[in-house]
């Protein structure tokens, strides 16, 4: 249970730091948020919990595949905000586009790789 709490606290601190930096500087917040810290932490947690190297490699390869559909959020949301949409509908449309991209991504990954 202690390891889980540490994982949650470290992860939450990184998210809070990105939001706090973003309040002060959009560029600094964007840089911190765009770093693959979540993926790095997840791989460290997997390794620390005894995951096999092949499992960590599959995880890393899966992240690579799903970076592409996640970009839809960062294309759709700002485009709609700049087009005059309000925040929540813009974010909702960005999330919907991302979910659709993930659905397509899952189908492609299952077709082309052994990642499950």
| Per-residue pLDDT reduced to its tens digit, 19-68 | 888 888 888 887 777 778 888 988 998 999 999 999 999 899 888 888 88
What local confidence, expressed as pLDDT, does residue 115 receive?
Answer: 65
Domain contains 9: no
Q: What mean pLDDT is predicted for residues 70-78?
A: 96
Whether residue 3 is contained in a domain is answered as no
Does residue 33 lie in a domain region?
Answer: no
Total tally of structural domains belonging to the chain: 1
d(CA 73, CA 79): 10
In a domain, 88, yes or no: yes
Q: How far apart are CA 52 and CA 59, in angstroms?
A: 11
- Asked if residue 10 has pLDDT above 70, the reply is yes
- Distance, in Å, from the CA atom of 105 to the CA atom of 88, rounded to the nearest integer, reads 25
> How high is the pLDDT of residue 102?
92
**92 inside domain:** yes
Claim: this prediction has a pTM higher than 0.85: no
Which residues span the domain enclosing 102? 52-116
């Amino acid at each position: 249970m202690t390891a889980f709490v540490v994982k949650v606290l470290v992860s939450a601190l990184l998210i809070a730091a990105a939001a706090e930096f973003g309040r002060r500087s959009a560029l600094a917040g964007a840089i911190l948020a765009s770093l693959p810290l979540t993926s790095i932490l997840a791989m460290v947690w997997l390794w620390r919990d005894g995951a096999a190297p092949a499992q960590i490699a599959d995880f890393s390869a899966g992240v690579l595949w799903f970076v592409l559909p996640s970009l839809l959020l960062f294309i759709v949301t700002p485009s709609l905000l700049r087009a005059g949409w309000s925040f929540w509908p813009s974010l909702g449309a960005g999330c919907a586009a991302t979910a659709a991209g993930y659905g397509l991504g899952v189908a492609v990954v299952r077709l082309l790789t052994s990642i499950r």
